[in-house]
Chain A
């Protein structure tokens, strides 16, 4: 059983990983056809992965409603929103607009989802301001440097800042283009090296957490 449950999946990862990595350097039509087919398959599998992602949410809230746990009414609102959207979505064949005319599904998207999601993230504006006031203090030399860079960039990227401090625009441009770019580049190189190393570990079966738990 261990062969079927652990060794074979690891072997599949090894073969597919090495094949796809090598494919990049082999521009033969057969190799290119393989890439086309496999990426097409990934598109379809990606759809199933999305389903997998959302179904756990169904379960959690269904249990809450069934047991009438604290706040189960909110779970009811969640279910109502979800089922209502699915109903109008299927009615509209999954289209927000047909020939430029908004469907009920498009209405739910434009007047419910867009403002809800937009506002959820917009309230962060208030919290970042509050956090800046409470914790952005020049406690050390490093913190002072961070603070100065933030102030220059904040002023240099808005018309009022460029009007009051004409130099702030050029200085913030230099900070972004040179100092920031060098740090981001170092981070990018470092992260990429890490990602490549992790990919090799996955292919060669050193990293196996994606297989999930279990004894076998």
Chain B
């Protein structure tokens, strides 16, 4: 067996070790490379920035712990931005296993920004039915969620003053890790109830949402940890996403190097076979 062939059959645990170290070391010793802002992320930021005070922003945290590292920082950054702008926030989730995370996020940021439950924000919790919930919210918010997460009746909450359904909200950002997610909010929500909408998603989903971005069906897109880092930079509150960008750089560089090496060894072994 030649050297190239041996290298192609290397124990996968060595690759695991390389990836582990490439992630761990930059987290322990960060460099802090500058992050360029993409127009997609700026689209969401600029729209929230343009909203007048007390406008209603609807945030749907449609993810679970599996995609927490990507969408948790996005949600935190968006909430900080909305609360800083003194906007009213209505939050919910379509993913049952994401309820706890959504509750944690909104409680944490509201406490940090000194916002009052029921007056400045409301967390509606989770409801089964996926896309039916979106339509029901578009028809009558109080029928879809007669009470909020804490069990308080939603009717009469000051935060929902003047809001009867999705038609009355100013902006909606769906943070989705799959289905139902951003696309569902467009198809079953915006298509009929005509509100402005942006999206946030995992890296896996981001390329699939570009057609909606191009056609203006969503006016911005925060994609993965990178998108979250851009948003954190925009609001000038660096958090876990910015901290993770060095590790992201190192792992990407490691994978590119691995791919190059694998091709070098592959062509070398092919050339040797051809000669033999």
Contact = CB atoms under 8 A, between A and B. Distances in A.
A158 B249 contact: yes
A158 B229 CA distance: 10
Given A158-B226, A159-B249, A188-B211, A40 B263 contact: no
A49 to B, nearest CB: 7
Interface in A156-199: 157-163, 169, 173, 176-177, 180-181, 184-185, 188
B203 to A, nearest CB: 8
A210 interface: no
Nearest to A147: B259
Interface in B111-150: 111, 127-130, 132-133, 135-136, 139-140, 143-144, 149-150
Nearest to A172: B38
Nearest to B66: A121
Contact of A154 (B35, B128, B255): B255
Nearest to B211: A185
Contact of B33 (A39, A42, A49, A159): A159
B274 interface: no
A147 to B, nearest CB: 7
Interface residues of B, number: 69
Interface stretch (A63-71, A72-80, A133-141): A133-141
Nearest to B7: A133
A137 B133 contact: no
B133 A43 contact: yes
Contacts of A116: 65
Chain A interface bracket (under 10, 10 to 19, 20 to 34, 35 or more): 35 or more
B235 interface: no
A12 B107 CA distance: 45
Contacts of A180: 207, 210
Contacts of B133: 39, 43
Nearest to A121: B66
B275 interface: no
Contact of B65 (A32, A114, A136, A176): A114
B263 A117 contact: no
Considering residues A43, A95, A138, which has the most beta carbons from chain B within 10 angstroms of its beta carbon?
Answer: A43
Interface stretch (B45-53, B73-81, B98-106): B98-106
B262 interface: yes
A129 B15 contact: yes
A147 B135 CA distance: 42
Interface string A87-113: 000000001111110000010011001
Interface string B8-31: 101010011011100100000000
A184 B65 contact: no
Nearest to A122: B69
Contact of A184 (B103, B107, B208, B259): B208
Contact of A97 (B36, B103, B208, B248): B103
A117 B38 contact: no
A8 interface: no
Given A109-B100, A176-B210, A158 B252 contact: yes
Contact of A169 (B36, B262, B263, B266): B36
B249 A129 contact: no
Nearest to B20: A126
Nearest to B139: A36
A47 interface: yes
A100 B35 CA distance: 34
Contacts of A46: 128-130, 132
Given A35-B135, A36-B139, A181 B16 contact: no
B68 interface: yes
Contact of A96 (B100, B192, B206, B261): B100
20 contacts: A36-B143, A50-B96, A96-B99, A97-B107, A98-B150, A121-B66, A122-B69, A126-B16, A129-B251, A132-B255, A137-B262, A154-B252, A155-B256, A158-B226, A159-B246, A163-B33, A173-B38, A177-B210, A184-B207, A185-B214
